[in-house]
Amino acid sequence: MPAPTPPTPPTPPAASTVVLRQALRDMLVLLGVLTVVGVGVGYLVDGMAGVWGALLGVGIALIFSGTTVVSVLKTVNSEPTMMMAVIMGAWLAKLIVVIIVMVILRQFDFYNPMVLFLVSVVGVIGSAVLDARAVQRGRVGYFES
């Protein structure tokens, strides 16, 4: 009976995948903190309308920032043209979704629009800053083999 072959150790993920996962994790933590702080401040500013504004703002920030990181993470090993096509398609889709959501929300008054605006802006800008920080701190070479 031949000796069993030892299992091969799993290959570590590429450096770019590690950086993108870190960016996604940082974004989710930021949006979690922003949810807690935004809901608290929103409640103090305008009661339940402020709470709804904060929750909608976090949702918009998640759609806007999350789709970018996830689309890059899913296409990191693809050809550059495929990666750009997916990223541009995701950008266009999320822009359309956010515009449609905002048009639909205009007819309602259960939320505070200023809280929604401020929370979504803080979420999107904060997410972009965290993405840049993850890329700067990541040790990704120009070429990976």
Among the ranges given (1-10, 66-75, 88-97), the one the predictor scored with the smallest mean pLDDT: 1-10
Q: Which is more confidently placed, 144 or 37?
A: 37
The reported pTM is: 0.79
DSSP string of the chain, one letter each residue: -PPPPPPPPPPPPPHHHHHHHHHHHHHHHHHHHHHHHHHHHHHHHHHHHHHHHHHHHHHHHHHHHHHHHHHHHHTTTS-HHHHHHHHHHHHHHHHHHHHHHHHHHTT--SS-HHHHHHHHHHHHHHHHHHHHHHHHHS---S---
pLDDT at 22 over 60: yes
pLDDT at 17 over 70: yes
Give the confidence band of 121 by pLDDT, cuts at 50, 70, 90.
very high
